[in-house]
């Protein structure tokens, strides 16, 4: 099975996972990235079963609309039953690193509004300790250097994501050289840096379930 076939398989598995709980008034939270794109394409086949989606990026909103799925602003809904999204890394507690596609802030907001976060990944994303994937940190442009110096002080090696501006008009520092042993504490510490909008650690709001595509099929991993 290729990586894309694994992504396709977990997208289908996510659809099966959420389908039974959908009601005509349901709003589905939808993430960003190549795995989320496979999910959006699957979701299109059952668009008659739910009311609308909330998107975690402009790219996702555009793809959803392209399939004729209505996209609501998060402010127009009182909450979401489910959020389905990919990740760049996940650990045994289902803490995640996200933001490889730069959509971390909106992803974190939509995930926070959802009762259940279903994370869809291929097996390459499973790690014992988060941090081999460079941790994305979204920063207000004028605070870029200030935050970068703080990240160096904290043991990281920040690199500006060249030529990239987030949907919120901000910049991304990708932080290399981290071994994140206490994801919740580190997420909070990063959030407390002046000029940081969000960081890509999803530990305070981790996934509830990970559907992982492997060469032999999809594994369901629940939070311990
Ligand atoms: C985007 C994300 C994605 O979920 C993450 O980068 C995984 O992407 P892919 O499914 O393409 O591997 O956080 O900001």
Predicted local confidence at residue 92, as pLDDT: 97
Ligand 1 contact via 103 beta carbon (within 6 Å)? yes
35 lines ligand 1 (CB under 6 A): yes
Residue 22 has pLDDT above 90, yes or no: yes
Q: Is the dihedral of CA 91, 94, 97, 101 positive or negative?
A: positive
Ligand 1 lined by 136 (C-beta under 6 Å)? no
Confidence of residue 31 (pLDDT cuts 50, 70, 90): very high
Model pLDDT for residues 135-148, shown as the tens digit of each residue = 999 999 999 999 99
pLDDT at 223 over 90: no
Mean pLDDT over the full length of the chain: 97
| Ligand 1 binding pocket includes 12 (Cβ within 6 Å) | no
- What is the tens place of the pLDDT at every residue in 93-116? 999 999 999 999 999 999 999 999
Strand partners, 160: 173
Ligand 1 pocket test, candidate residues 32, 41, 63, 170, most atoms within 8 A of CB: 32
Closest atom of ligand 1 relative to the 37 alpha carbon: 10
Instruction: Give me ligand 1 centre to Cα 211, in Å.
Output: 14
Residues serving a catalytic function are 107
Give the C-alpha separation, 180 to 114, whole Å: 25
State the distance from the centre of ligand 1 to the C-alpha of 108, rounded, in angstroms.
12
The pLDDT of 188-214, averaged and rounded, is: 98
Compute, in degrees rounded to 10, the torsion defined by CA atoms 84, 70, 109, 123: 20
Q: How confident is the model at residue 1 (pLDDT cuts 50, 70, 90)?
A: confident
pLDDT in tens, 161-194: 999 999 999 999 999 999 999 999 999 999 999 9
pLDDT above 70: percentage of residues in the chain: 100
């Amino acid at each position: 099975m290729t990586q894309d076939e694994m992504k396709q398989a977990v997208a289908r598995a996510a659809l099966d996972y959420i389908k039974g709980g959908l009601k005509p008034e349901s709003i589905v939270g939808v993430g960003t990235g190549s795995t989320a794109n496979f999910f959006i394409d699957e979701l299109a086949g059952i668009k008659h079963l739910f009311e609308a989606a909330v998107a975690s990026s402009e790219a996702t909103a555009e793809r959803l609309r392209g399939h004729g799925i209505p996209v609501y602003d998060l402010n127009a809904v009182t909450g979401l039953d489910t959020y389905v999204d990919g990740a760049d890394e996940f650990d045994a507690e289902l803490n995640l690193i996200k933001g490889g596609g730069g959509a971390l802030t909106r992803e974190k907001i939509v995930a926070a509004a959802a009762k259940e976060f279903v994370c869809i990944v291929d097996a390459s994303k499973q790690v014992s300790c988060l941090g081999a994937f460079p941790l994305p940190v979204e920063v207000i442009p004028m605070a870029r250097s200030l935050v970068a110096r703080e990240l160096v002080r904290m043991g990281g090696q920040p690199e500006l994501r060249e030529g990239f501006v987030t949907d919120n008009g901000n910049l991304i520092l990708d932080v290399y050289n981290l071994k994140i042993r206490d994801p919740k504490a580190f997420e909070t510490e990063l959030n407390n840096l002046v000029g940081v909008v969000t960081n890509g650690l999803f530990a305070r709001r981790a996934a509830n379930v990970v559907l992982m595509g492997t060469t032999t099929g999809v594994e369901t991993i629940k939070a311990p």
